[in-house]
Chain A
Amino acid sequence: DAKTTQPPSMDCAEGRAANLPCNHSTISGNEYVYWYRQIHSQGPQYIIHGLKNNETNEMASLIITEDRKSSTLILPHATLRDTAVYYCIVRVAQYGNKLVFGAGTILRVKS
C-alpha cells in the first residue's frame, strides 16, 4: 500500500506556481521522498527526490518539513504542459526496492 496521502485534484493558473502537497506521516528515517508525474498515456517522468533537505532542479523544488511528515512539490511557473497526474512516493533507496504508486494528484493548469 502507498504510504502517502495526496489531494485527488488541484487547479493552477498558467504562469503561477503550482504547490502540490503530500503527507507521509509514517515515513522512516531512511526513506526518501520521490516525485513522478504522468502525462496522459505516457510513462511516468521522474521529477525530483530528497531525504530531508530541500532540493531544487531545473523542473521543480521539493520542500520537506523538518519532521519529514509532509512535503510540497513546487512547479515555479506552471504551463499547460504541466497538466498531469503527480505521484508522491516514499521508499528506501535500495536496489530491488520497488516504487509503490498511489492514486496521485491530477493537476490541471488552466489558461
Chain B
Amino acid sequence: KAGVTQTPRYLIKTRGQQVTLSCSPISGHRSVSWYQQTPGQGLQFLFEYFSETQRNKGNFPGRFSGRQFSNSRSEMNVSTLELGDSALYLCASRSDTDTQYFGPGTRLTVL
C-alpha cells in the first residue's frame, strides 16, 4: 500500500496570508490527524477527523481549521499567518488497529 501523502512538501508564505495543506491517508484508513512540529514546542496535536467529522481538537487558536472529505482526504487551513506558524505540519493516518502512520510533512515558512 502507498503511504500517507502530503502536498505541498514545502511552502513559503508571508504574514497575513492564508494557507491550505492537503493530506491523503493510506487506502482504507478513515481517520486523519494533524500535528505541528516546531523546535520550541516539539510535536503538538492539532485535530483529528473521522468520517468527515472532527473528533478531537488540540489547543490551537481558531485560525487553524481543517476538514475531511468523503474519500478520507483531509485539508488543514491556517488563516492570517504569523511568523510563529512556521513549522513542519504532519498528517497521520490511523489504521483499524489504531496505529497512526505519518506522512513526510509539509514545511511551512512564514516570512
- Which A residues contact B (CB, under 8 angstroms)? 34, 36, 41-46, 49, 87, 93-103
The 10 closest A-B pairs by CB, nearest first: A43-B102, A101-B43, A98-B45, A96-B55, A96-B56, A93-B98, A44-B102, A43-B105, A43-B104, A43-B90
B58 touches A98 (CB 8 A): yes
Question: Looking across the interface, which residue of chain A has its beta carbon closest to that of B107?
Answer: A41
Chain B CB within 10 A, most for which of A36, A45, A94: A36
Which of B55, B90, B100, B105 has the most chain A CB within a 10 Å cutoff?
A: B100
The docked-state distance in angstroms from the alpha carbon of A87 to that of B94 is 18
List B residues at the A interface (Cβ < 8 Å): 4, 31, 33, 35, 42-45, 48, 50, 55-56, 58, 88, 90, 92, 94, 98-105, 107
Find out whether the CB atom of A46 lies under 8 angstroms from the CB atom of B104: no
When chains A and B are docked, how far (Å) is the Cα of A98 from the Cα of B44?
9
New A-B contacts (18) at CB < 8 Å, excluding given A44-B102, A96-B56, A102-B42? A41-B107, A43-B90, A43-B102, A43-B105, A46-B99, A46-B100, A46-B101, A46-B102, A49-B99, A87-B43, A95-B50, A95-B55, A96-B48, A98-B56, A98-B58, A99-B92, A99-B100, A100-B45
